[in-house]
């Protein structure tokens, strides 16, 4: 990675790119923010962009693209079948992963649908380090369940373990012995993890887990959607990989797995997805599902423009200076919040900075959704949109009981190369103010609760008039400021 020291010893992230296209932002007054979050049913997914200042909902499909990506979009081949654009993407995937077969899909969850339909049958259990919302939904839709085998350290919000996303190898061995291989359609590794704070896995752990599966003839699947940040963490945190290039690390990771799928909304800096593999049998087993659910085999629901952008984006992902930008800005934000006493997930991971809502709002019961309440409060405090990653993002059991999430987090995603340091510091400032006034924040309760993926479209209300009180305090403390 570029080694650039500051004479004065300042330790701040430095952009290794310049900005050549911008979008104007709007910061609406706190009174309008209260109306907007009420109209959105206290669900940040339902806010409209016109009311949002810093959109830290996700890094999915909203990373800044490079000049080379934008240029490539103009020279695409739009043939329905046999498009040269698809061949370029396919070749790039095989070049970086060392695979032989590629199935395109319109995004990550479409790959999950194909995998679940092709491999999961009722009664099956899929072991994984940690679930992701759409992954679990597709597996349960086929009558399967998931078994989360992340190390105990993984769900501790405060830790100095550099690889909190690791799967626990003893738990995996025990799980296989107890479940029996017939009911295990595949093992899934999510590298890095999403719901536990963007925490990475080590290359060694992936190797060991896949080795155990190979001994038992269990298929291994890598969800590489968040691999970009994980590659950087392997390079910087895993001693054995310090002298390896990002390309070499990528190949070493890919060589462990039978099947690799990814959301190109994250991995590839554009919008799309796909499934790569070396074995023709898997390709033939899943192939027919692509024209059935996605589109023909040479586009899979993606626009040719996006495929060109992904091809270049994957190539740029092999550049350490490019992929370091996410983690170094996230670490900066985490450090600034920590300095001001705000509880966050440590160590800082990929994807975004994660606030620990249970510690931020200790007076709110888990059944009143601390992370959901914090999401609404952070929006009120600064027009900053984050995403609840806790109990609200879970699904009720068939008998109606509510599984309480292991961690209650508010994720503030940092889409790559989108926000500047002063914007990050603005968010830190407003969150610090909110933390000092945390006792004003109350809980949420459902007004409309969908039975599946409720966090996407459900509506909630405040359990008291805490939001009005928070707005009043904002006016007292900030005067006329937006």
223 is catalytic: yes
193 is catalytic: no
Candidate list 88, 389, 416, 454, residue with the active-site label: 389
Q: Are 413 and 59 in contact (CB under 8 A)?
A: yes
User: Contacts for 395-401 with beta carbons within 8 Å, 24 or more apart?
Assistant: 395/136, 395/137, 395/451, 395/452, 395/453, 395/454, 396/451
Cα first-last separation, the chain = 39
Residue 263 lies near ligand F0G (rule: CB under 6 A): yes
Residue 113 lies near ligand F0G (rule: CB under 6 A): no
Q: Site for ligand F0G (CB under 6 A): how many residues?
A: 15
Task: Name the residue nearer to ligand F0G (CB basis): 350 or 442.
Answer: 350
Look at residue 459 and give its three-state secondary structure: strand
User: What are the E-state strand segments in 246-402?
Assistant: 259-263, 273-277, 352-356, 384-385, 387-389
Q: Which of 338, 395, 340, 390 is nearest to 366 (CA)?
A: 390
Binding mask 213-252 for ligand F0G (x = CB under 6 A): ----------x-xx--------------------------
Considering all CA atoms of the chain, what is the largest pairwise distance in Å, rounded to the nearest integer? 66
Candidate list 188, 235, 265, 266, residue with the active-site label: 266
Candidate list 80, 321, 339, 365, residue with the active-site label: 80
The backbone region for 221, taken as left when phi is positive above 0, alpha when psi lies in -120 to 50, beta otherwise, is beta
Q: How far is the CB of 130 from ligand F0G (least distance, A)?
A: 9
Residue 134 lies near ligand F0G (rule: CB under 6 A): yes
Candidate list 261, 332, 360, 455, residue with the active-site label: 455
In the list 42, 85, 107, 205, the residue contacting ligand F0G (rule: CB under 6 A) is 107
- Scanning 27-35, 101-109, 204-212, 361-369 for contacts with ligand F0G by CB under 6 A, the matching segment is 101-109
Tokens of 340: 């001001």
Task: Name the residue nearer to ligand F0G (CB basis): 130 or 474.
Answer: 130
Rounded distance between C-alpha atoms, residue 167 and residue 211, angstroms: 13
Binding mask 264-303 for ligand F0G (x = CB under 6 A): -x-------x------------------------------
CA dihedral 213, 217, 223, 229 (to 10 degrees): 40
In the list 28, 29, 32, 60, the residue contacting ligand F0G (rule: CB under 6 A) is 60
One DSSP character per residue, 240-286 reads GGTTS-HHHHHHHHHHH-SEEEEETTTTTSSS-EEEEES-HHHHHHH
In the list 104, 108, 165, 349, the residue contacting ligand F0G (rule: CB under 6 A) is 108
Task: Name the residue nearer to ligand F0G (CB basis): 265 or 385.
Answer: 265
Residue 316 lies near ligand F0G (rule: CB under 6 A): no
Q: Bridge-partner residues for 190, per DSSP? A: 223
Binding mask 409-448 for ligand F0G (x = CB under 6 A): ----------------------------------------
Q: Bridge-partner residues for 268, per DSSP? A: none
133 is catalytic: yes
335 is catalytic: no
Q: Bridge-partner residues for 352, per DSSP? A: 413
Q: Which of residues 175-194 bind ligand F0G (CB under 6 A)?
A: 190, 194
Please report, as ranges, the residues that interact with ligand F0G according to CB under 6 A.
58, 60, 107-109, 132, 134, 190, 194, 223, 225-226, 263, 265, 273
Just list the catalytic residues. Answer: 80, 132-133, 223, 266, 389, 455
């Amino acid at each position: 990675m570029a080694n650039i020291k500051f004479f004065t010893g300042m330790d701040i992230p430095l952009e290794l790119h310049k900005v050549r296209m911008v979008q104007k932002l709007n910061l609406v007054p706190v009174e309008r923010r209260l109306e907007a979050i009420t109209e959105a049913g206290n669900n940040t997914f339902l806010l409209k962009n016109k009311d949002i200042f810093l959109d830290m909902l996700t890094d999915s499909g909203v990373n800044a693209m490079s000049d080379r990506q934008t240029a490539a979009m103009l020279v695409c081949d739009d043939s329905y079948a046999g498009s040269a654009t698809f061949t370029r993407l396919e070749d790039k995937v095989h070049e970086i992963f060392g695979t032989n077969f590629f199935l395109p899909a319109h995004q990550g969850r479409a790959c999950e649908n194909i995998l679940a339909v092709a491999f999961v049958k009722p009664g099956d259990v899929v072991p994984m380090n940690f679930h992701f919302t759409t992954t679990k939904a597709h597996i349960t839709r086929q009558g399967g369940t998931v078994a989360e085998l992340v190390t105990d350290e993984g769900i501790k919000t405060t830790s100095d373990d550099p690889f909190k996303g690791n799967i626990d190898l003893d738990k995996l061995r025990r799980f296989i012995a107890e479940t029996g291989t017939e009911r295990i359609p595949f093992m899934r590794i999510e590298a890095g993890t999403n719901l536990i704070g963007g925490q990475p896995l080590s290359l060694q752990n992936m190797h060991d887990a896949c080795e155990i599966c190979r001994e038992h003839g269990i298929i291994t699947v890598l969800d590489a959607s968040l691999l970009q940040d994980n590659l950087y963490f392997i390079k910087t945190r895993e001693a054995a990989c310090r002298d390896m290039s990002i390309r070499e690390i990528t190949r070493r990771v890919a060589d462990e797995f039978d099947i690799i799928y990814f959301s190109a909304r994250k991995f590839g800096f554009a919008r799309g997805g796909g499934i790569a593999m070396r074995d023709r049998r898997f390709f033939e087993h899943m192939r027919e599902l692509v024209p059935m659910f996605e589109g023909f085999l040479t586009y899979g629901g993606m626009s040719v423009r996006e495929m060109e952008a992904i091809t270049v984006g994957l190539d740029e992902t092999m550049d350490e200076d490019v992929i370091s930008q996410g983690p170094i800005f996230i670490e900066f934000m985490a450090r600034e919040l920590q300095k001001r006493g705000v509880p966050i997930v440590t160590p800082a991971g990929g994807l975004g900075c994660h606030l620990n809502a249970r510690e931020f709002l200790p007076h709110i019961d888990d059944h009143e959704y601390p992370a959901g309440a914090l999401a609404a409060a952070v929006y009120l405090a600064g027009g900053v949109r984050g995403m609840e990653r806790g109990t609200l993002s879970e699904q009720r059991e068939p008998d109606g009981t509510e599984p309480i999430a292991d961690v209650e987090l508010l994720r503030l995603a940092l889409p790559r190369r989108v926000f500047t340091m002063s914007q990050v510091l603005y968010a830190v400032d407003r969150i610090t103010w909110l933390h000092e006034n945390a006792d004003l924040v109350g809980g949420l309760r459902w007004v409309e609760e969908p039975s599946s993926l409720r966090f996407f479209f459900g509506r909630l209300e405040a359990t008291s008039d805490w939001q009005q009180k928070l707005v009043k305090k904002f006016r007292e403390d900030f005067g006329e400021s937006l």
